[in-house]
Structure 1
């Protein structure tokens, strides 16, 4: 059940209050848009970065790998901090860190400093759970589905929109720093908006941080993710890949045993093993994989020259973004905006199942029919419907199963 926060009431209330809530949802949507843009905007320009810095593709790939590793380590901890402290304060601190990372990336021509900047930007992944936790404090129960669908739709749309903007910025022989200057300016604007609009409520949770649990979770997740991201470079049967994967799994098993016995665990094992939470997390993995395939996989596919590989369209970054990705991103955003009504009426589980059916159709479509432009666009539209419905339903399932004081970390 939802727990009503200090800023909520059971009804829509005064028109001025409704306007403030609407402005809050829009502002948090912009916060989430920051997450989406930073997730996807860098990948299409990795080759440009390698050329302009005179570095190898393998070395430059660490701009993505280091970002993912840092996100895996930091997001659960930051989510817990948001549960324990003033959520607005934690939100603003994260945005400041992201701003520093974006500014560093925009001004440096050193690959090590660029990778360090991407590590700082990785804190942006925590902005989504913090925003959901803030919504739960400020929005009435009967409006939560619609509000979360706006944030979810923005998350899905932002990934595609970020690729479109990158395509426009990088036309010709543009300097890759343009992308990071854009993220710097956008993050600064979002920081100001959040400081003005987001209410500053007293801390709602109690307890402390299980630092050993945080360290174990960060180390275990990072090691497993390192094996997944570097397996193609190191070799899937190499000692590095196998050692990293096995070591990470061993650490995660130890973390699991520790969290079961800890008086105040970072993450409640009892919460994680609830049937709904367990399958929600498994579903989240699938939706996340679908997002990266729909945006980045299709981008790479359409850019491959057909006369070289026997497939692909030889599209430029701009063509891939505007022609192939933008229709799906727009369709996903529209679906997300209306998905909240269906979640409120039918529940999150049926909506998630409908989204999964759309995803199956889309991915089967592009697997079997990908020789024409319209086929790729259609497949991408279906995949975006899947992503939007999934990102709308999944947080609703989580929120329905946990106490308000555990929203961020859950």
Structure 2
């Protein structure tokens, strides 16, 4: 394994890893401008075409914790490069697809590469000086917002002016460029200290439970929440998750160390991450619709897909702009405070939206997204810092990947809940049902409530250890990584 020393220029390393995060986020938003066109492009039903999005979601959920564990075992840099391979291959498959089946398969392959963000954040712990770690984590976390911000307008512009296949070739080229930069300029991480083999049964068990859960959540509205299929999937989750947990607790080297995950700081941070993921995604579902709905509705703004993407872009860039501010707050007060402040900002953005919906001005919606994403920028930089200050170095990638999974579960539930609200609260427009203005207000109020709940959970996170460890200023030393005096057995031998 490559054990070369940390790079002399950590800023360049952070920039490369942030670029990797931007490409990953760009991949996720890539198909948004194509959603309405997919049934026509591939001569299929809208239901079948929706699997183009669902496949990526499921593949990412299953592969992210696996990639994290393998990163701890064999090296985070190595697994970063491995994760880029299906991203490149999947993009090529999508670009060449002539029917919906290969397109779904390609999107699934792209989903396998989504572990690059938590792996990149975890690698920072090994290759960036301790005093630069907090700001570096914030920048890397914010890269997801930048990728999402650029994805919509760029994808819409390409789709409107050239072949949609170009979108996927561009992503393939960018992923190859990321791989080349990592190979040339990013040093190897510390030698792996994880012993034992890979927990394949644990990976299969967790993957099966996640597939059942996310399928039920993402497809429940289409299949019917009371349908036999949806209820059977939820029932399977209730059986699989406890069985998986019992298996993990029996192992000395599990896929996910549940004893570490049960530490109050880790557990509460993951709980807050679910809520932040929900709150972050809810406005991403509402604002684009308001921008694109016809002006004749009285609350829609009648913008094109490209214009919508351009109005949404500054919000993603706001995440990057706020990342150094959040890092300074974490250094001064601790990432727990930064997470709570970020959650409150998200709630404030939603609160602003309630009187501004129906104002007839895109500037009001821009204000809402700027405030919300400023809060998301704070929160996304604080969560990895809290996780890494509470786990040993040998479990950094696994713990960060599990935290990323928690955020993904939050976004999935946001899509389901907001989708139900908007589907139930409709108005008739020319014989077609559209989500009503009251429905959008209700959705934003839900986002506000979830943001407030995230702030409460963040405030209750019991941060332990030295001040430096708690603030993420130095998460590499024994004070930051060892078990507390009250938890001597947490990372030791297991029954």
- TM-score with structure 2 setting the length: 0.76
Structure 1 outlier segments of 4+, above 6 Å? none
The equivalent position to 2:56 in structure 1, one of 53, 56, 67, is: 67
List alignment gaps of at least 5 residues for structure 1.
9-16
Counterpart for residue 44 of structure 1? 33
Counterpart for residue 164 of structure 2? 176
User: 1:241 Cα deviation (Å)?
Assistant: 0.9
Residues 239-282 of structure 1, C-alpha deviations (whole Å, 9 max, x = no match): 11111112122201111121122232111111111111111112
Aligned residues: 394
Question: Does residue 364 in structure 1 map to residue 384 in structure 2?
Answer: no
Counterpart for residue 334 of structure 2? 347
Counterpart for residue 81 of structure 2? 92
SS of the residue aligned with 1:401?
coil
Question: Does residue 335 in structure 1 map to residue 322 in structure 2?
Answer: yes
Counterpart for residue 185 of structure 1? 173
User: 1:211 Cα deviation (Å)?
Assistant: 1.0
Residues 145-179 of structure 1, C-alpha deviations (whole Å, 9 max, x = no match): 0110110111122111111211221235x432122
User: 1:232 Cα deviation (Å)?
Assistant: 1.0
Question: Does residue 405 in structure 1 map to residue 398 in structure 2?
Answer: no
| Separation in structure 1 between the aligned mates of residue 256 and residue 276 of structure 2, nearest angstrom | 22
User: 1:287 Cα deviation (Å)?
Assistant: 2.2
| Separation in structure 2 between the aligned mates of residue 194 and residue 143 of structure 1, nearest angstrom | 19
| Separation in structure 2 between the aligned mates of residue 196 and residue 48 of structure 1, nearest angstrom | 40
| Separation in structure 1 between the aligned mates of residue 346 and residue 289 of structure 2, nearest angstrom | 19
The equivalent position to 1:281 in structure 2, one of 262, 270, 280, is: 270
Question: Does residue 34 in structure 1 map to residue 19 in structure 2?
Answer: no
User: 1:188 Cα deviation (Å)?
Assistant: 1.4
**Does the 8 Å CA contact 1:106/1:184 hold for their aligned counterparts?**
no
User: 1:318 Cα deviation (Å)?
Assistant: 0.6
Residues 26-58 of structure 1, C-alpha deviations (whole Å, 9 max, x = no match): 110111112111122222321122222222211
**Does the 8 Å CA contact 1:133/1:404 hold for their aligned counterparts?**
no
**Does the 8 Å CA contact 1:160/1:295 hold for their aligned counterparts?**
no
Question: Does residue 319 in structure 1 map to residue 307 in structure 2?
Answer: yes
User: 1:290 Cα deviation (Å)?
Assistant: 3.1
Question: Does residue 389 in structure 1 map to residue 378 in structure 2?
Answer: yes
Bigger RCO (CA 8 Å, 6+ sep): 1
| Separation in structure 2 between the aligned mates of residue 103 and residue 338 of structure 1, nearest angstrom | 39
Counterpart for residue 217 of structure 2? 228
Residues 302-346 of structure 1, C-alpha deviations (whole Å, 9 max, x = no match): 112232x44321211111011x21221222210013322221221
Equivalent residues in 2 for 1:366-381, closer than 5 Å:
366-371=353-358, 372-381=361-370
SS of the residue aligned with 2:188?
coil
| Separation in structure 1 between the aligned mates of residue 300 and residue 390 of structure 2, nearest angstrom | 44
Residues 190-216 of structure 1, C-alpha deviations (whole Å, 9 max, x = no match): 111111111134434322211111111
**Pair 301,245 (structure 1): closer, same or farther in 2 beyond 3 Å:** farther
SS of the residue aligned with 2:397?
coil
Counterpart for residue 293 of structure 1? 282
| Separation in structure 2 between the aligned mates of residue 191 and residue 397 of structure 1, nearest angstrom | 28
The Cα RMSD (Å) is: 1.7
**Does the 8 Å CA contact 1:235/1:241 hold for their aligned counterparts?**
yes
| Separation in structure 2 between the aligned mates of residue 329 and residue 71 of structure 1, nearest angstrom | 21
Counterpart for residue 11 of structure 1? none
Counterpart for residue 13 of structure 1? none
**Pair 6,191 (structure 1): closer, same or farther in 2 beyond 3 Å:** closer
The structure with the greater share of residues assigned to helix is: 1
**Does the 8 Å CA contact 1:97/1:120 hold for their aligned counterparts?**
yes
Counterpart for residue 474 of structure 2? none
User: 1:217 Cα deviation (Å)?
Assistant: 0.5
| Separation in structure 1 between the aligned mates of residue 195 and residue 160 of structure 2, nearest angstrom | 51
User: 1:6 Cα deviation (Å)?
Assistant: 7.7
**Does the 8 Å CA contact 1:34/1:124 hold for their aligned counterparts?**
no
List alignment gaps of at least 5 residues for structure 2.
400-495
